[in-house]
Chains A and B, each alone.
Chain A
Amino acid sequence: MLAFAVKRLGLAVLVALTVSLITFSMIYVSGDPAIAIAGEGARAQDIEAIRQFYGFDRPILVQFFDWLAGAMRGDFGRSYTLRQPVADVIFERLPVTMILGASAIAFALLLAIPLGVWAAVRPNSMIDRLALTIAVVGQAMPTFWFALTLVLWLGVNWRLLPITGSASWQNFVMPAVALGYYVTPAVMRLTRAGVLEVLSADYIRTARAKGLRPGTVLFKHALRNAIIPVVSLAAVQFGFMLGGSIVIETIFQINGLGYLAWESIQRKDLPTMQAIVLVLSVIYVLLTLAADLLNAFLDPRLRVT
């Protein structure tokens, strides 16, 4: 088990390094970053001054390792626009996004898993068709449009929930729903498929033959095995949500990482952009690692690798 975890951790580090390299080289996609910062119509000596100030005149690899060394220390440099160390801003805003992501995935799972289980236990029934309809509709609606519609109805017309800010838990309800429902169809389908498949397994027949009650058969025996792929999917989706929260955060004006990313992109605040991408990637990698470990816990057969 330990060897397994260590090996996966090593892979995670490698991925994070590669992502950071790619992120770093993003600056150079646009051509000379010094020009981008200086803006149009800047004088040559101003551009040169900027270049020297930010160290763009050094070889690329040197810049990369310098940045990386700093990143590992937790120092992402200073924001071009916010007059703060990037690290401070990021870790100030990160918890908000994590809360949003966590509530969104919680909403998605609380809706999708029971629905998927129910649909699997009663295939081709009304509930199955309902679940399928929810899945189909959920996958087709653009997130931002759904969010706007929620704002219009729940926020304005019926005045049930606040529409901006991140002051209290009510502020997170609509954003969580808008962000989470997009994941619901995939989780629901996977749960349904998994439970259907598991229910026809031999060991379920054995469980019934032992006289176990239907609830025990379903929840103790079937679900435990069926949930395994769902765990991986949920972890991956959580990771995507953290990255995709940008749309929701801008609509609801929630001061999270996504909103910060939005601002820094608009202002071409490169260090912040790079740092955010790196932080999100590391979190994603850690999430998949956690999912793998959880899987190994759930399925004893996986513990050998």
Chain B
Amino acid sequence: MSARVLTVEELNVALPVPAGRLHAVQGVSFHVDRGETLCVVGESGCGKSLTALAIMDLLPANAERRAARLELEGENLLRLGERAMSDIRGNRMAMIFQEPMTSLNPAYSIGDQLQEALRRHKAVSRSEARTRAVELLERVGITAAARRLKQYPHQLSGGLRQRVMIAMALMCQPALILADEPTTALDVTIQAQILHLIARLQREFNMGLVLITHDLGVVARIATRVAVMYAGEVVETGSASQLFSGPRHPYTRGLIACIPVPGRTRRGAPLGTIPGLVPSLVGHIEGCHFTRRCPHATDACRTGAVPLDTVVDGHHVRCLRHRELATGAAPPPPVAVA
């Protein structure tokens, strides 16, 4: 059953900076259904975290947010004041952050922090909240859960803390979870476990999941659908299989080509890169944001807005030349040679 959980249309976030206005997120649109995992991929600074914060309305006070549509299970979030939003946060929509080491309050036990997440939104007694906390800790794979409730965050490892964060997000059984690079700060061995856990819980709770990451490996493992972001814009979106088998945007192709493939990448050969720097997003930007680094950029690319074009149903690309580039007439993907 696919009830649409999240609809985002033309989301814009601007921040005032000393040099002007920084357009950190421009015209971002995507949607998520129940049971679906949308991975938002992009490099640092592309605006993916701000997108999640914008959805939760947790942006810094001086940020400006605008969107054509922002709906949670059909309810318009744009019209809601802070009070109504705080009723929704942690309740029907929850967020998991990147840094488990600092995301929990050191002064309170984890039991206290778990229970307050539930009791804020639902009228339950303390013992009911406690029971639920224990139950969720067990579901996220923490043993001796009852004892753990009394422990303080500094007594737990990073992996354990992240599990607690996940449990905390699930306390009210939200319809949507936004996970901002939940495994980036963890040891590689733990990363796989946490990802596996998140995927399993998503199935069990039948939630919508937006997972933000810069790691294509994570995307390959867990994504139903993918949105690739670059310099504040979504440049390509589609199902995971569409994207990995037939990436259309030069940036996406560059990203995928950068991944060393056992067996194919020659030993001792330099790893792929996409040369250049992300453009400054202050002030108005002409044309496609990727032109400075794109080997196929033409003058047409540098002027005028580039809309999202449809490749096939569900697969969209923001590139003027994607059709001609896909027909094989294009040079190989951009890989820098040292």
The chain A residues found within 8 Å of chain B, CB to CB, are: 201-203, 205-214, 216, 221, 224-225, 298-301
Give Cα A125–Cα B156 distance, bound, in whole angstroms.
40
A225 to B102, CA, bound (A): 13
> Could you tell me if A212 and B91 are in contact, using CB atoms closer than 8 angstroms?
no
Decide if B19 is an interface residue (CB 8 Å cutoff): no
Give which listed residue, B102, B117, B154, contacts A210 with CB less than 8 A: B117
Which A residues are CB-close (under 8 A) to B102?
201-203
Residue of B nearest to A200 (CB): B60
- The residue in chain A whose Cβ has the minimal distance to the Cβ of B98 is A202
Find out whether the CB atom of B116 lies under 8 angstroms from the CB atom of A210.
yes
Asked whether B91 lies within 8 Å of A203 as measured between CB atoms, the reply is no
B86 in complex: contacting residue of A203, A206, A211, CB < 8 Å:
A211
CB contacts (< 8 Å) of A202 on chain B: these are 97, 99, 102-103
- B15 to chain A minimum Cβ distance, whole angstroms, is 15
A225 touches B120 (CB 8 A): no
A209 to B94, CA, bound (A): 7
Inter-chain contact A211/B91, CB cutoff 8 Å: yes
In the complex, the answer to whether A206 meets B104 with C-beta atoms within 8 Å is yes
CA distance A224 to B152 in the complex (A): 15
Chain B nearest Cβ from A44, distance in angstroms: 69
Question: B64 near A: Cβ within 8 Å?
Answer: no
Residues of A within 8 A of B58 (CB): 205, 208-209
The interface residues of chain B lying within 8 Å CB-to-CB of A210 are 89-90, 94, 116-117, 120, 168
**B92-109, CB under 8 A of A: which get 1 and which 0?**
001101010011111110
Task: For residue B253, give the distance in angstroms from its CB to the closest CB of chain A.
Answer: 35
CB distance from B27 to the nearest CB of A (A): 25
Inter-chain contacts of A214 with B (CB < 8 A):
82, 86
Q: Give me 12 other A-B pairs in contact (C-beta within 8 A), A203-B103, A212-B120, A225-B106 excluded.
A: A205-B58, A206-B103, A206-B165, A208-B86, A209-B97, A211-B120, A213-B86, A213-B120, A214-B82, A214-B86, A224-B105, A301-B106
| Cα distance A201–B99 in the bound complex, in angstroms | 11
B105 and A207: CB pair below 8 A? yes
**Total number of residue pairs linking A and B with CB closer than 8 Å:** 76
Complex interface residues of chain B between 68 and 124 (CB less than 8 A to chain A): 82, 85-91, 94-95, 97, 99, 102-108, 116-117, 120-121
Q: Chain B binding site: helix, strand, loop or mixed by DSSP?
A: mixed
* Interface residue? B56 (CB, 8 A): yes
Q: How far is the CB of A123 from chain B (nearest CB, A)?
A: 10
Distance in angstroms between the alpha carbons of A207 and B108 in the assembled complex:
12
Which of the residues A201, A203, A207, A211 comes within 8 Å of B87, measured between beta carbons?
A211
Contact across chains for B56 and A209 when beta carbons are under 8 A apart: yes
In this complex, what residue of A is CB-closest to B168? A210
State how many angstroms separate the Cβ of B162 from the closest Cβ of chain A.
Answer: 12
Which 10 pairs show the lowest CB-CB distances between chains A and B?
A211-B90, A211-B89, A210-B90, A202-B102, A203-B105, A300-B152, A209-B95, A202-B103, A211-B86, A210-B117
Which A residues are in CB contact (< 8 Å) with B120? Answer: 210-213, 216
Residue of A nearest to B104 (CB): A203
Bound Cα distance from A207 to B300, whole angstroms: 47
B111 to chain A, nearest CB (A): 13
Q: Is the CB of B90 within 8 A of A209?
A: yes
Max count, chain A CB within 10 A of own CB: residue among B82, B87, B97, B105: B105
Chain B residues 27-67 with CB under 8 Å of chain A are 56, 58
How distant is B120 from chain A, measured CB to nearest CB, in Å?
A: 6
- Shortest beta-carbon distance, A125 to chain B, in Å? 12
Within 8 A of A (CB), among B181-236: none
Considering only CB atoms, which chain A residue lies closest to B57 in the complex? A208
Report how far A203 CA is from B100 CA in the complex, Å.
9
Residues A300 and B87 in contact in the complex (CB < 8 Å), given A203-B102, A209-B94, A209-B95: no
Is the Cβ of A212 less than 8 Å from the Cβ of B107? no
Q: Contacts A202-B97, A301-B154: A208 and B89 contacting too (C-beta < 8 A)?
A: yes
